[in-house]
Structure 1
Amino acid sequence: MLFEINILTIIVMAALGGICAYLANQNIAVFHDGLRPLYPQYLDGVMDRKTLFATSFALSFGLVIGFGIPTSIAGKIIITHTIMLACDIIGTLFSDDRNGKWISTGVGALFGVALLFGMQVLMNIFTILPIDFTGDLGLVGSLIIVSFSVFPAIAVAYQAGVVKGGIVLVLTMVVKQLTVLFGSFTINSVNVQINADGMALLFAIISMVFVATRYNKKSDVGAVDAFAVFGKNIERIKKNMLVLAISGGIVALATTLLLIAEGPASLTLTAEGQYFEAAMVSLGRTLGFIPLVMTTAIISGVYSPAGTKAVHVPAILFINMGILGMVGSFFVGALIMIIEVLLLGFIAAGMDKFPGMKDLGDNARTAMSKVLDIALLVGGMLAANAIAPTIGYIWVIGLFFLNQVSKKPLASMAIGPIGAITMGLIVNILHLIGLFPIV
């Protein structure tokens, strides 16, 4: 793994696991966006704690096992889903009384530390196998940055039609090509190299937001704000602003320490040291998640331990800046969380006036998901083929279609990482029985 195991990282992972479990247990914040809207039923007494836990487990366990852990192993940084979804489960497992509060916090902290050591142990085991395939796992995410600049064009196509989406796609390609040709120059003997993928993504995101602000179905004059009735929920979130700020600071600090990454794309770029590009990808995901996180928070009175994910953006840029970077990351993360909570009512009202922005969030998430599905699948195929040129492609393609017909399919974007990792284990088994000689 890319992170170091020392006193600081152990404390940070314990703090991250502890606070995420605490927030879930005290009904303040959960990471799974689908779990958040169920909390009003629990808070109103319609749903009991056992049902809440069972629902949390059903929603999150498969993602932790089938997506979080394989993606973390492949990228060598723990993806946030692995720890935060698990802590949703831990928090809801215990009652939200005085004892349950501290028990869940302690278990969450222990899980964070166990995850820190466990991921490193897994990587160490892989490296001592007869055929070390860990180097090839980097290919799993090799196509993400190239393909990720496509998602804004797809989002525009969903929102404003395929023609406008096609225009954004073509212009994105033009911007990238122009950056490749003219993005390298010298200023006062200093060579400046502008990243073409980063510029293409930046242009595409700006285009996506521009289209969304112009593509609005105006609501009737005098209509009642859709979110006005949820004022009590907003106030409930604001009452927990301090602990949410601490959570935002810890999440940001963990990101700066390379312990966690907010998504597969930013994980891959961060692992490769492309921090600006990773921050841009994280910003793009934040734009997509603002409407979802805000609306589910407003209707439930329950927020997210990572907020809209905006805390990750500056945190990535603070990497390798030493103690000042770590301190700055924590305080900026906390400040961002405070600003998000304070703006909750304003943003909710803005979504009423500019419904196109809410549609943008829905469309952007759908587009990102589809792009990542393909990028990780093809990346997984490339990695599996690098590990086993004779059978790698067959294995991943077969897994993909078997998953499609399964009664309980895994998330599509998990198939690439799972296929590559299992291919590595398979070739080691084949080698032990003499069917896969080392060339």
Structure 2
Amino acid sequence: MNSVLAASSTNLDFSLAQQLTVIALCALTAFISHMALAVFNDGVRPFMLDFIQGRSTRNATTAVSFGLSAGFIFGLGAPMALSTGVLNPWLVFLPTDILGILSPKKWIAPLLGGAWGAVVVFGLNGANSLAHDLPVDFLTALQQMSTPILFLFTLFPVLAITKQFGRLRGGIAAVVELALVVMTMKVWPDVFPGSIAMAVGVLTLIGFAINKDLTQRKLERAEAAKAVAAGESLPDEKAERNTERNTGKDRGKDGAADDADDPMASLFSASALRLRRYLPLFMLLGAGVCVLAQAHVFGGGEATSFLIAKGDYSEAAQVDFYRAFGFVPLIATTALASGAYGIAGFTFVYPIGYLMPNPFLAAVVGAAVFAIEVLALSAIGRVLGKLPSVRDSSEHLRSAIGDALGLAILFGSLMAANVMGGGLGILIVGGLYLLNESMGRPVVRMAAAPAAVIVGGVLLNILYWLDLFTPIKG
């Protein structure tokens, strides 16, 4: 598998159908954001409840969205798209979050979103061509990130297992994953080496978590049985049940509990009901996202963008499928708590879209997937409440993904800096990254290094025009 993309593979020329898909989807996502039905940024979603209930203004919520999204748009989304030739959710969906919430009128939101989609499909290629014509081609240099991102991303299940279940199990998982990567490279050289290793790692983590929860349940049942046998707490339990029957607080005929005494249950129920009322709109959204993924001009993550650019669609589907497990609990709980869903749902439409044979089938399947997700939100919330270790695994997975990609992006950015300008390039890019850290990270850490490469590339070009720098050949 080639570690670096060919320059020609980063061309951002889109067909008419692809252009219309991006523009239409941006218009739709901006409209949905305006309605406060869904946003892409997980950090913004908890703020949507105050907006929905009128405790926060549109301008204030827009400021929050912009503050939490700008770094990802300009520091990660744009550089990744320009260096891979593949669109990504930070570039496509984060701006429509902002534009949708910002829009003062419902009919203006899709116009703003569609305008952003037009900027993406018509403007990026011009910027891409201009950058490739510069003496210091920092976009081609950014392709150096592909190898560290693809290979270090493989380790995220190992990190999650280590954080949740300790060094011994983490060490064993690391050895197993390394052996699987080596075996894959030797036996199936055309397959992404980390695909099998990631699958085994994620399944192992989930297996550990489920086993822990089941074991804990058995212990609790055993303790309860001992207490009953010893005659402990049984009278209290009977009295409590009698009180519930007498006051009418027991479950009704439909099996639903009285939510009046449980504010969180009441809120979750209201949020789920609100989202279900707009089910046709969510199905349209699912169809659009799945069609965009099927067009193979869009990748759902950092590693996925490089795999899509290389034409490794099945490997990209595997990567995004495993990644989704880290975000299902977060998206489900924040959606139930805030009443705002995720623009990409649980993100399972990404891998499904990559594998669809045509856009028509992708639209049907994407709509069905979103319908199932929205209708199942309440049930998923209840299941997660009964499996605390699985819920914790999700937190550890997300943290591990961030750690692995953070190192990979930083290392890849320094490799890009070396390609651009050798030691001087490393000094500028590394210095900008360290300066961002010392200033309290005005640019989020994940986006700081790619942004530093672009700024460093511009500075090196200026130095070249001032006859103070000679580009490295190669």
**Number of the residue aligned with 1:197:** 194
Once residues 17 and 63 of structure 1 are traced to their aligned partners in structure 2, the CA distance between those partners, rounded to angstroms, is 17
Q: In structure 2, do the counterparts of structure 1 residues 210 and 334 end up closer, same or farther at CA, with 3 Å as the change threshold? A: same
**Number of the residue aligned with 2:291:** 253
**Number of the residue aligned with 1:80:** 89
The letter of the residue matching 1:429 is I
Q: In structure 2, do the counterparts of structure 1 residues 241 and 299 end up closer, same or farther at CA, with 3 Å as the change threshold? A: same
How far did residue 311 of structure 1 move? 0.5
Task: Summarize the alignment of residues 158-173 of structure 1 with structure 2, pairs less than 5 Å apart.
Answer: 158-173=163-178
Task: Summarize the alignment of residues 15-414 of structure 1 with structure 2, pairs less than 5 Å apart.
Answer: 15-95=24-104, 100-183=105-188, 194-216=191-213, 228-229=265-266, 230-318=268-356, 321=357, 325-414=358-447
Please tell me whether the aligned partners of residues 376 and 413 of structure 1 are also in contact (alpha carbons under 8 angstroms). Answer: yes
Please tell me whether the aligned partners of residues 249 and 330 of structure 1 are also in contact (alpha carbons under 8 angstroms). Answer: yes
Once residues 157 and 241 of structure 1 are traced to their aligned partners in structure 2, the CA distance between those partners, rounded to angstroms, is 40
How far did residue 405 of structure 1 move? 0.9
How far did residue 408 of structure 1 move? 4.2
Name which of 419, 430, 433 aligns with 2:466.
433
Please tell me whether the aligned partners of residues 31 and 88 of structure 1 are also in contact (alpha carbons under 8 angstroms). Answer: yes
How far did residue 128 of structure 1 move? 2.0
Please tell me whether the aligned partners of residues 74 and 417 of structure 1 are also in contact (alpha carbons under 8 angstroms). Answer: no
Q: In structure 2, do the counterparts of structure 1 residues 126 and 295 end up closer, same or farther at CA, with 3 Å as the change threshold? A: same
How far did residue 75 of structure 1 move? 2.5
Once residues 400 and 134 of structure 1 are traced to their aligned partners in structure 2, the CA distance between those partners, rounded to angstroms, is 18
How far did residue 269 of structure 1 move? 1.4
Residues 292-301 or 163-172, more deviating: 163-172
Once residues 149 and 407 of structure 2 are traced to their aligned partners in structure 1, the CA distance between those partners, rounded to angstroms, is 9
Please tell me whether the aligned partners of residues 2 and 271 of structure 1 are also in contact (alpha carbons under 8 angstroms). Answer: no
Once residues 169 and 424 of structure 1 are traced to their aligned partners in structure 2, the CA distance between those partners, rounded to angstroms, is 37
**SS of 1:273 mapped into structure 2:** coil
Please tell me whether the aligned partners of residues 349 and 369 of structure 2 are also in contact (alpha carbons under 8 angstroms). Answer: yes
- Which digits, 9 at most, give the CA deviation of each residue in 1:127-182, with x for residues without a partner? 22234343332112221121111100111112112221121111111222233344
Please tell me whether the aligned partners of residues 396 and 415 of structure 1 are also in contact (alpha carbons under 8 angstroms). Answer: no
Unaligned runs of 5+ in 2: 1-9, 225-236, 241-256
**Number of the residue aligned with 2:6:** none
Once residues 399 and 290 of structure 2 are traced to their aligned partners in structure 1, the CA distance between those partners, rounded to angstroms, is 26
- Which digits, 9 at most, give the CA deviation of each residue in 1:267-289, with x for residues without a partner? 12111222222111111221111
Q: In structure 2, do the counterparts of structure 1 residues 178 and 7 end up closer, same or farther at CA, with 3 Å as the change threshold? A: closer
Q: In structure 2, do the counterparts of structure 1 residues 277 and 416 end up closer, same or farther at CA, with 3 Å as the change threshold? A: farther
Please tell me whether the aligned partners of residues 33 and 39 of structure 2 are also in contact (alpha carbons under 8 angstroms). Answer: yes
Once residues 16 and 326 of structure 2 are traced to their aligned partners in structure 1, the CA distance between those partners, rounded to angstroms, is 35
How far did residue 3 of structure 1 move? 4.4
The letter of the residue matching 2:124 is M
Residues 141-150 or 208-217, more deviating: 208-217
Please tell me whether the aligned partners of residues 153 and 401 of structure 2 are also in contact (alpha carbons under 8 angstroms). Answer: yes
* Superposition TM-score, scaled by structure 1 size: 0.90
Please tell me whether the aligned partners of residues 384 and 392 of structure 1 are also in contact (alpha carbons under 8 angstroms). Answer: yes
Unaligned runs of 5+ in 1: 185-192
How far did residue 227 of structure 1 move? 6.0
- Which digits, 9 at most, give the CA deviation of each residue in 1:320-375, with x for residues without a partner? x5xxx222222222221111112111111110111112111111110000100000
Once residues 66 and 238 of structure 1 are traced to their aligned partners in structure 2, the CA distance between those partners, rounded to angstroms, is 35
Residues 78-87 or 129-138, more deviating: 129-138
Please tell me whether the aligned partners of residues 138 and 416 of structure 2 are also in contact (alpha carbons under 8 angstroms). Answer: no
How far did residue 72 of structure 1 move? 2.1
Once residues 81 and 37 of structure 1 are traced to their aligned partners in structure 2, the CA distance between those partners, rounded to angstroms, is 18
How far did residue 415 of structure 1 move? 2.7
Give the greater-gyration-radius structure (CA).
2
Once residues 3 and 239 of structure 1 are traced to their aligned partners in structure 2, the CA distance between those partners, rounded to angstroms, is 38
Please tell me whether the aligned partners of residues 191 and 315 of structure 2 are also in contact (alpha carbons under 8 angstroms). Answer: no
How far did residue 11 of structure 1 move? 1.1
The letter of the residue matching 1:152 is P
Please tell me whether the aligned partners of residues 33 and 96 of structure 2 are also in contact (alpha carbons under 8 angstroms). Answer: yes
Once residues 269 and 179 of structure 1 are traced to their aligned partners in structure 2, the CA distance between those partners, rounded to angstroms, is 16
Once residues 97 and 411 of structure 2 are traced to their aligned partners in structure 1, the CA distance between those partners, rounded to angstroms, is 31
Residues 233-242 or 39-48, more deviating: 39-48
Q: In structure 2, do the counterparts of structure 1 residues 408 and 390 end up closer, same or farther at CA, with 3 Å as the change threshold? A: closer
- Which digits, 9 at most, give the CA deviation of each residue in 1:18-50, with x for residues without a partner? 111100111111111122122222222222222
Q: In structure 2, do the counterparts of structure 1 residues 256 and 352 end up closer, same or farther at CA, with 3 Å as the change threshold? A: same
The letter of the residue matching 2:276 is K
**SS of 1:51 mapped into structure 2:** helix
Q: In structure 2, do the counterparts of structure 1 residues 124 and 40 end up closer, same or farther at CA, with 3 Å as the change threshold? A: same
- Which digits, 9 at most, give the CA deviation of each residue in 1:302-322, with x for residues without a partner? 11121011100121223xx5x
Residues 84-93 or 415-424, more deviating: 415-424
Please tell me whether the aligned partners of residues 154 and 198 of structure 2 are also in contact (alpha carbons under 8 angstroms). Answer: yes
Please tell me whether the aligned partners of residues 17 and 112 of structure 1 are also in contact (alpha carbons under 8 angstroms). Answer: yes
What's the RMSD between the two structures over aligned residues? 2.3
Aligned residues: 422
Name which of 427, 430, 454 aligns with 1:421.
454
How far did residue 421 of structure 1 move? 2.5
Once residues 183 and 93 of structure 1 are traced to their aligned partners in structure 2, the CA distance between those partners, rounded to angstroms, is 50
Q: In structure 2, do the counterparts of structure 1 residues 364 and 25 end up closer, same or farther at CA, with 3 Å as the change threshold? A: same
